[in-house]
Structure 1
Amino acid sequence: MTTADSPRRAEGWTAAVRQRLGLGRLLPLGGPADGSWIAERAAAAVLRDASSGSGAVLGVLRIDSADADAPPGPAPVPGPPGALPHGPLRIEAGFSATAGRPLTATADTLREALLSAAARRLGLAVDEVDLRVTDLLEEEPGPAAVPPVDLHAAEPEGAAGKAAAGVPGVVALTRVLGSPVQTGSGHVRVELATAGEHRALDVAREVRGAVAAAVEGGPTVSVLVTAVVEEK
């Protein structure tokens, strides 16, 4: 039976699955025409890495729409189910630091590091960074440990998969939310992991172009980045 709130229930179910898989929100990369998204988990890992050396230790970090109540604009490229619409984003994070330096100065350094990494390493359009002090440290923090990344890598198959896998900066196609290549009526969605030395948005743009050229009929293409892999 179909009810009026079925779409809402489906979206809630999709969000619950993403949370269980640890992906978090699916955040827009670039603008509406870029047709690309990145998992909050992948973005947060890059931001945590960028915070090293700021004098702060990041705690809980959350990335969401800057204006959650704003109606979504037109979407020229369909995104993954439950993905946030393209628009400005907001980072909220708690951090710990020593009192040997003014906390406002540490917060400013941390904020700049997060904004720079969001733009230069990922391609996230972040308008706001809301920081709060959660604890005082007795000693200066050392380098943060980088947890291993479980890619859920998949072998590239078909014209779309092989075209995407051949783009510089693509570490692997992934199958976190299903098949690495999802096809529908006139649309292809590719799920992948990118290399940390490449800006995620730039890789996604190249993948979209390569897949559109490789698949007959010139479909629209969207990309979901599920992981960013840093060099060890």
Structure 2
Amino acid sequence: MTTADSPNRADGWTDAVRQRLGLGRLLPLGGPADGAWISERAAVAVLRRAVRGRGPGPVLGDLRIAVADPDKAPGAQVPAPPSALPPGPLRIEATMAATADQPLPAAAAALRSSLLAAASLRLGLEVCEVDLQVTELLDTEPVRTEPEPDGVRAAKPENTAGRVAAGVAGVSTLTRVLGPAVHTGADHVRVELATDDGHRALDVARAVRAAVTEAVDGHPPVAVLVTAVTGPTAGPGTPGAEPGTPGADPGASEG
């Protein structure tokens, strides 16, 4: 049966699938007891901002993050989001373009140091290895360009857990990429949200877990999924943003 709004429904379904696939891997934040994950897309965006902000130097190319040794990764102590990677040390693989004014070993070491520092201090990722591959040698420092970040799929807090989570310092907004912002299972609660770049993602996730666990009847285990980290370019005036909701998709609400 075909209805007049079938194309709109199909577009909505396509957008939802694109959003979920665009998250990339769901990476563990902290250790097995932290019950927190972050999308690879969000983590990569933070790392790129950190590298770009350090000044002249090698140019970061492709970047992927994965668990270094999944077979030895311990299991999470709270139920993980669907398809999330198990907690364990992570490995960053990246390409870089270097300029002739700096020896390659020094350029690679500087970039590796920047990535490790940003992963730990700005996110809370436990990275044990950074593998860099030089793919291009440049005569001069290029103009650095970065793709525009995707809008945050914002959600309104509509229950106790959501309102408590939204009120934690460092939470930009609740989000709804894998489903409702607050998913209540038989034995756990999962909260999906975006953090702001001024707070370490792991610290925000820990605070949300503690606050939601205390507020919800029965004090169930709580998992947190960070789907975005809103940077300095996000906020009112960003294309597609609503006033007061950094980087939000217009009209988005918890579904």
Task: Name the TM-score, length of structure 2 as normaliser.
Answer: 0.81
Distance 1:156 1:143 in 2: 38
Work out which of the residue numbers 60, 63, 66 in structure 2 matches 1:64: 66
Q: How does 1:76-155 map to 2 (within 5 A)?
A: 76-145=77-146, 147-155=148-156
Distance 2:158 2:19 in 1: 28
Which of structure 1's runs of 4+ aligned residues deviate more than 6 A? Answer: none
Distance 1:19 1:227 in 2: 12
SS at match of 2:191: strand
Q: CA RMSD in A?
A: 1.6
Q: How far 1:183 sits from its partner (Å)?
A: 0.4
The residue that corresponds to 1:37 in the other structure is: 37
Q: When you count strand as a share of all residues, which structure comes out higher? A: 1
The residue that corresponds to 2:26 in the other structure is: 26
The residue that corresponds to 2:50 in the other structure is: 50
The residue that corresponds to 1:185 in the other structure is: 186
The residue that corresponds to 1:8 in the other structure is: none
Q: How far 1:142 sits from its partner (Å)?
A: 3.6
Q: How far 1:20 sits from its partner (Å)?
A: 5.8
Contact kept? 1:60, 1:93, Cα under 8 Å: yes
Contact kept? 1:55, 1:141, Cα under 8 Å: no
Q: How far 1:147 sits from its partner (Å)?
A: 1.8
Amino acid of the structure 1 residue aligned with 2:70: A
Instruction: In structure 2, list runs of 5 or more residues that go unmatched.
Output: 1-16, 234-255
Contact kept? 1:171, 1:195, Cα under 8 Å: yes
The residue that corresponds to 1:222 in the other structure is: 223
Distance 2:18 2:126 in 1: 22
The residue that corresponds to 2:157 in the other structure is: 156
Distance 2:115 2:147 in 1: 17
Amino acid of the structure 2 residue aligned with 1:56: P
- Tell me how many residue pairs correspond in the alignment: 215
Instruction: Report Cα offsets for 1:184-221 as digits up to 9, x if no partner.
Output: 11310000000001000000000001111111110100
